[in-house]
Amino acid sequence: MKKGWETKNLGDLCDILDHKRKPITKRDRIAGDYPYYGATGILDHVAGYLFDEPLVLLGEDGAKWESGENTAFPVSGKIWVNNHAHVLRPHRMELLDNWLIHYLNHSDLNEFVSGLTVPKLNQGNMREIPIPLPPLPEQKRIVGILDEAFAGIATAKANAEKNLQNARALFESHLNDVFTKRGKGWVEKRLDDVCVIGDGNHSSNYPKKEELVAAGVPFIRATNLVGGQISDDDMRYLSPEKHAQLKKGHLKTGDVLFTNRGEIGKTAIVDTAHDGSNLNSQIAWFRCRNELCNRFLFYVLNSGKMKMHINLSQNGAALQQFTIRQIKELQIPVPPQTEQLTVVKKIDQLSKEVDHLEFIYQHKLDELDALKKSLLHQAFTGAL
């Protein structure tokens, strides 16, 4: 440890005011002026107040305690705090509030957390958290550096996130233009006139959890449709025998997939690696006839106009759905095949350019997160 630094337990550096906190009762839940805090921030505003001073809150349960998570934050003024957050008053003659907050949010506190069903950072364990403690002027200097750097990082992240949004908006805008400004020879056709349509199995043979196997025929679920592709992350599998029992949902390369239950409207095209796979009951499949290009259909389904129509047409109280009947009645634009291929080529090219921009901006965001972690590590090891 750097010369002049020491380590003290959190319980020796703070007054713990948990005994004064109070959950809001039903009677208290009325419109008011004072914020009501829980483990992760403001839950509501209520009348009356319990605390009226600068304090630090740290999640007790209902929070995360991994490094980089916002488990600790400052509060001030008249507030209520429920029993899901610890209430700390740092001894400010030796510990700055922001030094404590930065450290707690930098550290992995899971070793102090107990409980499997409801993980909890109890008060006894919290008191034992070791806090590196440089002299107060050194804390002020380092916190000043961190605050200034983090403000710059926050601005850079906001710009990168805005650029990321703009790249996606550019693609979506072009996609909408393609299907609203139609050329000569475009006609509207029902989807079932240009596709064979089917869905996953709904019969009594539907696979039970114990019938899934470690390897075999992929059993594709809605969660496996990611970014317009089929993801093998957390894929489930059927035995060849079970697959043969299910008469529906047998896929072929080139089929267009469409989630029509739950999170409606996710799409993907079956690639060669997933030829012969099977589907669960949340997904429908479209097999294009000769007059329709599958990738053209894929882009139609992802256009803003189509998404809006589907969103307004879905039904179901407990589980949203867009029925096979509704799917068959969908009206889609169908230009001549040569124009379909031209449209697909242009959209594919724009998609690649946008993907490249998104990669750049996401890489920038990752770099900024890494920079923040590096600064915090340097700060609490005395290297800043």
What is the pairing mode between strands 78-81 and 85-90? unpaired
Tell me, yes or no, whether 382 lies in a domain: yes
What is the pairing mode between strands 267-269 and 278-279? unpaired
Residues 196 and 280 in one domain: yes
The full 3-state SS of the chain, as one line of letters, equals CCCCCEEEEHHHHEEECHHHCCCCCHHHCCCCCEEEECCCCEEEEECCCCEECCEEEEECCCCCCCCCCCCEEEECCEEEECCCEEEEEECCCCCCHHHHHHHHHHCCCHHHCECCCCCECCHHHHHCCEEEECCHHHHHHHHHHHHHHHHHHHHHHHHHHHHHHHHHHHHHHHHHHHHHCCCCCCEEEEHHHHEEEEECCCCCCCCCHHHCECCCEEEECHHHEECCEECCCCCEEECHHHHHHCCCCCCCCCCEEEECECCCCCEEECCHHHCCCEECCCEEEEEECCCCCHHHHHHHHCCHHHHHHHHHHCECCCCCECCHHHHHHCEEEECCHHHHHHHHHHHHHHHHHHHHHHHHHHHHHHHHHHHHHHHHHHHHCCCC
The CATH number for 369's domain is 1.10.287
Candidate from 47-51, 144-148, 265-269 with smallest mean pLDDT: 47-51
Q: What is the pLDDT of residue 17?
A: 95
Q: What is the pLDDT of residue 62?
A: 67
Q: What is the pLDDT of residue 205?
A: 80
The CATH number for 129's domain is 3.90.220.20
pTM, to two decimals: 0.73
Tell me, yes or no, whether 281 lies in a domain: yes
Q: What is the pLDDT of residue 320?
A: 81
Domain count across the chain: 3
Tell me, yes or no, whether 308 lies in a domain: yes
What is the pairing mode between strands 78-81 and 34-37? parallel
Residues 359 and 325 in one domain: no
Residues 293 and 170 in one domain: no
Q: What is the pLDDT of residue 319?
A: 65
> HSE (CB half, 13 Å, CA atoms) of 298?
22
Cα 56 to Cα 17: distance, rounded to the nearest angstrom:
10
CB 46 within 8 A of CB 78: no
Tell me, yes or no, whether 1 lies in a domain: no
Residues 291 and 373 in one domain: no
Residues 28 and 76 in one domain: yes
pLDDT tens per residue, range 41-99: 877 777 778 899 999 999 888 667 676 666 899 999 998 888 889 999 999 999 999 99
pLDDT tens per residue, range 4-48: 899 999 999 999 999 988 777 666 666 677 888 887 787 777 777
Q: Which amino acid is at 54?
A: P
Mean of pLDDT over the chain: 90
Residue 262 has pLDDT above 70, yes or no: yes
Among 334, 349, 376, the domain-final residue is 334
Q: Which two tokens stand for residue 20?
A: 């004064």
Q: What is the pLDDT of residue 184?
A: 84
Residue 381 has pLDDT above 70, yes or no: yes
Q: Which two tokens stand for residue 141?
A: 């200097």
Residues 111 and 172 in one domain: no
Residue 286 has pLDDT above 80, yes or no: yes
Tell me, yes or no, whether 13 lies in a domain: yes
Residues 315 and 358 in one domain: no
Cα 325 to Cα 321: distance, rounded to the nearest angstrom:
11
* Residues facing 239 on adjacent strands: none
Taking residues 163-189, what's their average pLDDT? 88
Residues 80 and 219 in one domain: no
Q: What is the pLDDT of residue 179?
A: 87
Q: What is the pLDDT of residue 42?
A: 79
Residues 286 and 368 in one domain: no
pLDDT tens per residue, range 246-257: 888 899 999 999
Cα 87 to Cα 151: distance, rounded to the nearest angstrom:
26
Residues 58 and 80 in one domain: yes
Residues 53 and 86 in one domain: yes
Q: Is 86 exposed, middle or buried (0-12, 13-18, 19+ CB in 10 A)?
A: buried
Taking residues 201-221, what's their average pLDDT? 89
Cα 74 to Cα 55: distance, rounded to the nearest angstrom:
6
> HSE (CB half, 13 Å, CA atoms) of 40?
6
Tell the residue number behind the tokens 């449709």, with chain if given: 225
Residue closest to 93 by CA, chosen among 167, 37, 205, 14: 14
Tell me, yes or no, whether 320 lies in a domain: yes
Taking residues 188-214, what's their average pLDDT? 90
Candidate from 56-60, 320-324, 340-344 with smallest mean pLDDT: 320-324
Among 133, 165, 200, the domain-final residue is 133
Q: What is the span of the domain harbouring residue 328?
A: 187-334
Q: What is the pLDDT of residue 3?
A: 86
Q: What is the pLDDT of residue 82?
A: 85
Interaxial angle between packed helices 337-380 and 294-301, expressed in degrees from 0 to 180 and rounded to the nearest 10: 60
Residues 138 and 127 in one domain: no
Tell me, yes or no, whether 93 lies in a domain: yes
